Structure 1
Amino acid sequence: MKFGFWHLFKTDLKHGTTNWVAAILLGGLIILPSLYAWMNIEASWDPYGRTENIKIGVVNEDTGGEVRGESIDVGETLVDSLKENDTMNWQFVTKEKAMDELEYGNYFATIIIPEDFSKKLSTVITDNPEKANIEYYVNEKINAIAPKITDKGAGAIVDKVSSQFISEVNGVIFEMFNDLGIEMEQSLPDIKRFENYIFTLEENLPEIHQILNQSLSDADKAEGMINDAQGLIPTVKDAANNGLTTVNDTLGYLEKAENRLKEMAPKIEQDLKKIQSTSQKINDFLHEIENNQPEITQGSEILNQVNGQLDSTLESLNTIETALKQLQEQNNNENNPDNGESEQNDQQIETALNQIASIKESINTMKTNTSEVESTIQEKQQEIDERFQSLTQFSDDVNTTIDSFVKEYQQTIAPRVEEEIKQAESTLTTAKNILVEVQNTLPEIEQMLNNTEGNLAEGEEMLNYVLGEFPYVNDKINTLADKIRSIQSETDMEEIIKLLQNDPNAEKGFFEEPVTLDTNKVFPIENYGTGMTPFYTVLAIWVGGLLLISLMSTEPHDPSIYTERHMYFGRLLTFYVIGILQTFIVTFGDLFLLGVSVDSAVWFVLFGLLISLIFISIVYTLVSVFGDVGKAMAIVLLVLQIAAAGGTYPAVLLPEFFQVIHPFLPFTYGINLMREAVGGIVWDKVYADASILTLFGIAAILIGAFLKKPINHYTNKLKKKSKESGLFH
């Protein structure tokens, strides 16, 4: 009679619960996988949180340096900062002790700061900066992971030194930039003025070139003119000498004219008074005649007396006229260089002569009238009276004219002539002084012309040189102007000044930490142990399956009462129950015993149960179908999965072989599912990973259901043969 798989399952449960030895063994099988997971998770909970126990030797041999007159000691600063840093167990010792302790394994690593550390760093502002180095010694024999941790510590030290030094140096640099910005801001008007000067110079270069050519031509002309001027110097000397002689002669003539005027003045004045007196007497006489009404018989006698007086007056006027004409002639012969003053003197004398001529004409008219009176005296008495009346009136006019002339001569003509002579003497004296000064200056002018001739020769040579260099200067000025325009189009000087002006302390702080890492954890994991929980939990579930196939048989004691398929499914259910219990223990232990922080605890347990069912199916099927060979296959598969599933290292960092097999391993998808529950679920990934993992389980069950019997036919022979050796059960 054959029984079904359910009968086998119930029998297994009965034996497992009633046989205390079996119960103990099953209890051990259920708990042991959990211990494997828990111990590994606990050990890796926070491995970098206890690095303060790792001893690292620190040796400071730095002697300091100097940056822009400021002393720096980066080594001492670093030691001070490490004394406040508890991430490692820093040991500040001598170089000899540090190396000894490192060799004996008491120190995991040793860091040595050389004596020229600060000096090399201080060369950053020189033309040949040198990189400073920190000597790092590590004993990799002690542990595989410890060197990585100490490397991180050494790297942190280098980063700290670099950031601190960059901060200090940039503080100095930006302080210089700030000073430069202030100076540039103060000099900005001068810079713009210089730019305008360059542009103006560029614009005027053609005109400058033309001026230079013209200057060279003018220099040639000037040299000819100087030669001409030098040739005229003797002529100028002669002219000055002749002019001085003429001025001296003229001054002599003026002196003579002045003396002659002084001699003639009293006589002219006397004659004028005489004329004035005679004219007055005639006038009085005529009035007397007019008042007394003389007889015609007395007319001839009276007229003779009048004619005598008139002749006397004419004689005096002729004397004055002759004197004035002599004075006029002498004035014209004196060659006075001041022609204006000579003309004024002539005009004054000519005026006086004209007035005398007028008086003479009037007196002659009077004489004519007296003659007419005498000729007609025999005529009518009435006509005689009219004539006398007319003569009397004319005499009054002559008398008035003479009085006016005498007054004008005394007040205007004589003083004016004397004044003009004085002014002419003054002008000629000034001209004489000028000519004397010209004579004295001529030697100096001659010397200056000689010097100018030499300077012109040098200037002409320089102009030729400048014209020869002009194309080069022209190109350079145009190039400079183009560069300035290019800079103006690409940059804003005021913007540059704003960029240069800064707060050195703020810039120093910026460069000490120019970039801050703003960490945003999409799926935050609390610690390293939590991150390793998916791997170690999945590993524990597989190990649990291996323990089961190592201690429990996949075949019943009486296989004859069951078919191959019933044996497979009946014992598979027993393995499922134990696997589920193992999973509950390990997942609940992770959550409540270790306190692993997971995003979804329920799904963490449920995903664990699914993984357990799949893994049990695979391991159980391998052993059930292939026997002892299946056990070996399950162990090999475990080894491959530990290396290639990406539980500890990303698959992309693994060797190529492991990257190739990575997608074909159940571990890959089991670990992915547990990571979703721990970090945060993305359901699309869960569906994909759960589906592929389920396919592994279905494939295992199909192999067990349909291939167990034919394959067992061969494996049983192998099993029988191995037992005959006495080495295998």
Structure 2
Amino acid sequence: MKNIWNIFRADWRRLTASVVAVVVLLGLCLVPCLYAWFNILSNWDPYGTASTSRISVAVASEDAGCEVLGLEVNIGALVLQGLESNDQMGWVFVDSRAEALDGVESGDYYAALIVPEEFTEDFVSILSGDLRHPQIQYYENEKKNAIAPKITSKAKTAVQEQINTTVIGKAAEALTTAGSVFKAMGLDSEALADGIMDKLTGARQEMAQLQQVLLSLKDVMNGADGLLTAASVTIADARGTVEDADAAAGSTVQLISTGLSAADTAYSDLLTVLNNTDKVLGDIEDALRSMDTSAADEALKADLHRKIQAAIAALEVQLEAAEDEAVKAQLETAIADLEALDALVDTLEPSALQGPVLDMLHQVRQELLAAAVQTNKEVNEYLHTTGAQAQTTLRSVQQLLGAVGGSLGEVSGTLDSYADAMTTVQPTLDAGITLANTVETYLADIEDDVRRVTESEAFKRFTELMESSDAESMADYLSSPVQLNTEIIYEIKDYGAAMSPYYVMLALFVGSLLTAVMLKVPVTQPEFAGCRAVERYFGRFLTFFLMAMAQALVTAFGCLYFVGMETAEPALFVLACCLCSLNFASMNYALVYALDNVGMALSVVIMVIQVAGSGGSYPVHVLPQLFQTLYPFMPFHYGMDMIRETVGGMYGDTYLRCALVLLGMCALFTVFGLLVYYPARRLNAAIAASKEKSGIM
């Protein structure tokens, strides 16, 4: 410890013995501080109106205007008139587009805003239904400065706000006038809102009723569909029955026709038989009248028997075929008479046959004639008359059945059409039910929205403005109906103060690096040759520590009192600067002590990496992945967090944790310097010898 103190005192005796050395020491204390102060001051308020109003932005209007409701309107001229009182930018009003663009290209203006010729016409196009968005042409010179385009972008916002203010102001005047008219007419906005709510409620209830009606109609249609299906089956069966009946009637008509034909044929056959029988009997009668009874013999009887039996056989055949009882009775009588005649022939002598036989023949012929007459009468009166009537009736029945069948076909077709129509209507009905449900839901949502709007403070404020006839208040409200209530946490009033952690870190690091470059790190004096490496290390480090503290104090107090930076914790701000300066001094001293010239180069590399990737200007999350990976190992990271805590406000133990990390890094750098010094001595000597040989290094 004694040797450490001796080395420190010897160093300061030699430093204070030289005026140049004292000046250099003062410079090492002041120059890095100037870097921090001037950068903080230059960035004090770059985005404030006082600064942006000095940035020249050209403005030109080519708007030709247009006529609206008989009035000449030129919104471009109104915009320029409004910008004249706007101090956000340094507006330069030029006469033409060419002049504005030439100024941007030459660098006289940072940007240019040009209102095109059709601006007003596009603005009022909404009145004609042909909506066209009005456009303002914006030109900027990005070559002139990297940050200027970001600042001049406020010009676009300013123009948009000016246009909104101008147009909304005119709209507010119209609304105020309308409010005055409503008030004069006795109309109340709350009453109107209540009326709208009542209408919406009624419409929603009607839609609910419509939905129930449609559901009932759907049930009815489902039942009707089943009835139509059953009716179609029944009609199909009825059509089959009618067709069968029609066929049966046709068959009956045909059968009657066939029966009549058969009856006519049978009647003809009967008449033929009767005629033949009558003819036979006539022949017998003629033969009896013409024969010679005296010569009659057995041959005559035999001939009579044969003819009589033939007549009987013919009549018996007709008797079996006859259906009418009267005809059958007459035929039976005729047959009986012929049989009696046949018996009579056997009992009489040939000479006595003529008289009785002729009488019997005459009687039989009369009976046959009566049977023929009776048969003719019955056939004509019964068969033909009744058959004709039956045929007529059946034909009428056929026509009726045909008409019924056609009607059933039409009914079946109609029912099929109804079924098809119901099938077609079913999806439409379902869609109607869905639509009614959807509309009811929408109406309920609209009702809720209208209720929320009418009950909101904004609506109440709007109605008050409508009734107050205050156009300016109305314009303010319409341009910004929602007020954003911003509560700043850890407020930092000035942009320069927000950037101070970054510039303070950079100044302190540069100061420690310059100290390591300007002052010799190794202890080469002969009187200290017997000291141990640890003693020589800390003996010379005390000087670097003292310089680091001087740089930190000058920088911190200069920020507080020269720059005028406001901090939440001034004492902790000074302490943070001292800890950061100690860390940087330990790092640079250890690197140069262990690696000499290589250590100086490494210090520069470390500084460059931290300048780019420590998140001083931009959030570390927007930086390349390499810097995000190295970020936790950068001393700048923890130093800036400590200073941010003191400038904006303390949170938890963030300050303490960062301080402990920086102190831990100091210990690591010290161990590194002591451990690497001896292994790197030959390398350092070789590099130094090579530099000497160059003659200029």
Query: What is the TM-score of this pair, normalised by structure 2?
Result: 0.60
CA contact (8 A) 2:44 2:494 kept: yes
Q: Bigger shift: 571-580 or 662-671?
A: 662-671
Aligned position for 2:46: 47
CA contact (8 A) 1:66 1:122 kept: no
| Pairing partner for 2:136 from 130, 134, 137 | 134
**TM-fit CA distance, 1:64:** 3.2
Aligned-residue identity in percent? 30
Matching of residue 599 in structure 1 with residue 568 in structure 2:
yes
Aligned position for 1:661: 630
**TM-fit CA distance, 1:487:** 3.5
Give the Cα–Cα distance (whole angstroms) in 1 for the partners of residues 643 and 84 of structure 2. Answer: 42
Aligned position for 1:491: 443
**TM-fit CA distance, 1:171:** 9.8
Q: CA offsets, 1:531-568, max 9 Å, x none?
A: 11111111111011111112111023425354333221
Which amino acid in structure 1 is aligned with residue 489 of structure 2?
V
Give the Cα–Cα distance (whole angstroms) in 2 for the partners of residues 21 and 496 of structure 1. Answer: 81
What secondary structure sits across from 1:611 in the alignment? helix
CA contact (8 A) 1:167 1:510 kept: no
What secondary structure sits across from 1:56 in the alignment? strand
**TM-fit CA distance, 1:509:** 5.1
Give the Cα–Cα distance (whole angstroms) in 2 for the partners of residues 693 and 583 of structure 1. Answer: 15
| Pairing partner for 1:537 from 504, 510, 514 | 504
Aligned position for 2:599: 630
Query: Which structure 2 residues correspond to residues 515-664 of structure 1 after superposition, within 5 A?
Result: 515-558=482-525, 560-664=529-633
Give the Cα–Cα distance (whole angstroms) in 2 for the partners of residues 561 and 91 of structure 1. Answer: 76
Q: Bigger shift: 686-695 or 103-112?
A: 686-695
Query: Which structure 2 residues correspond to residues 91-490 of structure 1 after superposition, within 5 A?
Result: 91-94=92-95, 95-124=97-126, 128-161=130-163, 483-484=435-436, 487-488=439-440
Give the Cα–Cα distance (whole angstroms) in 2 for the partners of residues 498 and 590 of structure 1. Answer: 56
Which amino acid in structure 2 is aligned with residue 723 of structure 1?
E
Q: Bigger shift: 532-541 or 97-106?
A: 97-106
**TM-fit CA distance, 1:589:** 0.4
Give the Cα–Cα distance (whole angstroms) in 2 for the partners of residues 496 and 32 of structure 1. Answer: 65
CA contact (8 A) 1:102 1:138 kept: yes
Q: CA offsets, 1:682-724, max 9 Å, x none?
A: 2322232222222221110011222212222321222122112
CA contact (8 A) 1:59 1:113 kept: yes
Aligned position for 1:81: 82
Aligned position for 1:696: 665
What secondary structure sits across from 2:521 in the alignment? coil
Matching of residue 715 in structure 1 with residue 667 in structure 2:
no
**TM-fit CA distance, 1:32:** 1.1
Q: Bigger shift: 531-540 or 468-477?
A: 468-477
Aligned position for 2:410: none
Aligned position for 1:682: 651
CA contact (8 A) 2:119 2:134 kept: yes
Q: CA offsets, 1:283-341, max 9 Å, x none?
A: xxxxxxxxxxxxxxxxxxxxxxxxxxxxxxxxxxxxxxxxxxxxxxxxxxxxxxxxxxx
CA contact (8 A) 2:88 2:158 kept: no
Give the Cα–Cα distance (whole angstroms) in 2 for the partners of residues 38 and 51 of structure 1. Answer: 22
CA contact (8 A) 1:111 1:137 kept: yes
CA contact (8 A) 1:56 1:89 kept: yes
Relative to structure 1, the CA distance from residue 483 to residue 173 in structure 2 (aligned partners, 3 Å threshold; closer, same or farther) is farther
Q: CA offsets, 1:448-482, max 9 Å, x none?
A: xxxxxxxxxxxxxxxx9x99999689987886677
CA contact (8 A) 2:60 2:100 kept: yes
Relative to structure 1, the CA distance from residue 644 to residue 187 in structure 2 (aligned partners, 3 Å threshold; closer, same or farther) is closer
How many correspondences in the alignment? 473
Q: CA offsets, 1:621-672, max 9 Å, x none?
A: 1111111111111111111110001111111111222222111111111111
Aligned position for 2:641: 672
CA contact (8 A) 1:181 1:500 kept: no
Note the residue ranges of structure 2 that are not aligned, 5 or more in a row.
Answer: 183-188, 225-414, 467-473
Give the Cα–Cα distance (whole angstroms) in 2 for the partners of residues 166 and 193 of structure 1. Answer: 38
Q: CA offsets, 1:384-416, max 9 Å, x none?
A: xxxxxxxxxxxxxxxxxxxxxxxxxxxxxxxxx
Relative to structure 1, the CA distance from residue 621 to residue 67 in structure 2 (aligned partners, 3 Å threshold; closer, same or farther) is farther
Relative to structure 1, the CA distance from residue 490 to residue 140 in structure 2 (aligned partners, 3 Å threshold; closer, same or farther) is closer
What secondary structure sits across from 2:566 in the alignment? coil
Which amino acid in structure 1 is aligned with residue 592 of structure 2?
V
What secondary structure sits across from 1:53 in the alignment? coil
Give the Cα–Cα distance (whole angstroms) in 2 for the partners of residues 537 and 713 of structure 1. Answer: 37
Which amino acid in structure 2 is aligned with residue 90 of structure 1?
W
What secondary structure sits across from 2:53 in the alignment? helix
Relative to structure 1, the CA distance from residue 123 to residue 181 in structure 2 (aligned partners, 3 Å threshold; closer, same or farther) is farther
Relative to structure 1, the CA distance from residue 490 to residue 100 in structure 2 (aligned partners, 3 Å threshold; closer, same or farther) is closer
CA contact (8 A) 1:37 1:536 kept: yes
**TM-fit CA distance, 1:521:** 1.1
Give the Cα–Cα distance (whole angstroms) in 2 for the partners of residues 643 and 118 of structure 1. Answer: 48
CA contact (8 A) 2:613 2:628 kept: yes
Aligned position for 1:375: none
Relative to structure 1, the CA distance from residue 711 to residue 82 in structure 2 (aligned partners, 3 Å threshold; closer, same or farther) is same
Aligned position for 1:4: 3
